[in-house]
């Protein structure tokens, strides 16, 4: 299949900052679309559970019928096994100039489009809008795994225009050494004075899991950035009237990082957390050139933070680094009052 057209980002339907990525229509043999024309759009959803058919893992159990729930040890993950498969969802309805069909986990839209621009807008809106609306109805929140269809008789697939896969070349020996190194570092976590290191490793692990668990590397990117910021805040707390950026700069400098490395690789996590759709609601729409800066940073942040934590643990084991002491913050008292109030309402309900 050949490239047809790279879709320009437009404010046709609001999408959050980290989800905005350039996508394009790919057609067989580079065929061109002709407009006006009839179009068929197909959106394929996962997980399969709420759409009927073969059950996978989820919280949807169809009635009538017998089912068994299997629980998964320490993770509390569970799966549903039905005595016999449920027929996949299948129904259709019509609107003026449009027919909608549901066939299992696939949503088919048949309608007309007068231009490439209108097709772009239609696909982008449905791609983001249908899953967030279904999440208010389904027990298992869905996402779109694939978008394809036809314009007239020309088949297409809607795909990411470009992205950088995060890959690592390794050998069996390297993987074995990584496990041995992690095992030998267990003693670092046993020392009470290293509680800040334990916290930073936890936040980094959460960030990595969020990036891996999303339907794309960017689904939970706002939360990834938030946890990377927490890595820095846990390791390098501000003192007195100091600010988190300044304390992070000082702490990273003590680890041997240059000013360029600090400002390029680490400080943006705090800046994004404070100002761009991470810890705070932000409905801004950024121009393409600014989005490129954000995308370039988020694509490489995991790797740079991982290397920093490796350096920090090694220096701690060698006695060259000691984390700042931890004391119960004043906010703990406020938290206890909130918990007491919560308990009061729960007990009275």
User: Tens of pLDDT along 24-41?
Assistant: 899 988 789 999 999 999
Q: Are 228 and 204 in contact (CB under 8 A)?
A: yes
Give me 10's structure tokens.
């437009």
Average confidence (pLDDT) over 137-161: 91
Residues in the chain: 349
- Which one, of 231, 229, 224, 230, lies nearest residue 208 by Cα? 224
- Whose structure tokens read 């969020």? 210
Q: What is the pTM of this model?
A: 0.80
Helix (H) or strand (E) holding 37: strand 37-46
Q: At residue 12, does pLDDT exceed 50?
A: no
Q: How far apart are the first and last CA of the chain?
A: 60
Count of alpha carbons within 13 Å of 315, Cβ hemisphere only?
16
Q: Which residue has the higher pLDDT, 345 or 301?
A: 301
With both helix axes pointing from N to C terminus, report the angle between 244-254 and 221-235 in degrees, rounded to the nearest 10.
Answer: 70
Alpha helix segments (H runs only) across the chain: 116-134, 172-184, 186-190, 195-213, 221-235, 244-254, 259-265, 267-275, 288-317, 331-348
Task: State the Cα–Cα distance between residues 187 and 282, nearest whole angstrom.
Answer: 42
CA distances to 178, 313, 315 from 319, in Å: 21, 10, 6
Highest mean pLDDT among 45-59, 224-238, 321-335: 224-238
In three-state secondary structure terms, 39 is: strand
43 in helix, strand or coil? strand
User: Domain ranges in the chain?
Assistant: 2-160, 172-340
For residue 56, pLDDT over 90 is answered with no
Angle CA 338–339–342, to nearest 5: 90
- pLDDT of 294 reads 82
Express each pLDDT in 68-90 by its tens digit.
777 777 776 777 766 666 788 99
At 93 the three-state DSSP class reads strand
């Amino acid at each position: 299949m050949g490239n047809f057209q790279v879709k320009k980002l437009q404010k046709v339907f609001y999408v959050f900052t980290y989800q905005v990525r350039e996508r394009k229509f790919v057609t067989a043999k580079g065929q061109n679309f002709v407009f006006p024309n009839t179009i068929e759009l197909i959106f394929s959803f996962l997980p399969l559970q709420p759409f009927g058919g073969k059950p996978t893992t989820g919280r949807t159990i169809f009635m009538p019928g017998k089912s068994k729930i299997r629980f998964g040890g320490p993770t509390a993950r569970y799966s549903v096994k039905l005595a016999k498969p449920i027929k996949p969802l299948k129904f259709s309805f019509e609107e003026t100039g449009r027919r909608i069909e549901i066939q299992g986990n696939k949503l088919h839209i048949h309608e007309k489009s007068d231009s490439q621009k209108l097709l772009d807008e239609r696909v982008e809106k449905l791609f983001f809008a249908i899953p967030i609306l279904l999440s208010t109805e389904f027990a298992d929140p869905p996402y779109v795994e694939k978008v394809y269809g036809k314009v007239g008789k020309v088949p297409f697939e809607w795909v990411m225009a470009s992205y950088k896969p995060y890959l690592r070349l390794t050998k069996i020996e390297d993987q074995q050494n990584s496990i041995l190194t992690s095992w030998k570092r267990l003693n670092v976590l046993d020392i009470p004075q290293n509680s800040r290191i334990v916290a930073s490793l936890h936040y980094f692990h959460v960030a990595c899991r969020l990036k891996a668990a999303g339907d794309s590397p960017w689904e939970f990117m706002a939360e990834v950035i938030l946890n990377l910021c927490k890595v820095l805040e846990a390791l390098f707390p501000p003192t007195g009237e100091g600010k988190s950026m300044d304390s992070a700069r000082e702490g990273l400098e003590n680890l041997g990082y240059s000013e360029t490395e600090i400002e390029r690789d680490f400080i943006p996590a705090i800046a994004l957390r404070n100002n761009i759709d991470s810890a705070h609601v932000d409905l801004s729409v950024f121009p393409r050139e600014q989005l490129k800066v954000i995308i370039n940073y988020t694509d490489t942040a995991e790797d740079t933070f991982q290397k920093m934590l490796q350096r920090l643990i090694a220096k701690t084991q060698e006695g060259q680094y000691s984390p700042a002491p931890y004391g119960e913050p004043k906010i703990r008292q406020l938290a206890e009052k909130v918990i007491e109030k919560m308990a009061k309402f729960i007990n009275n309900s």
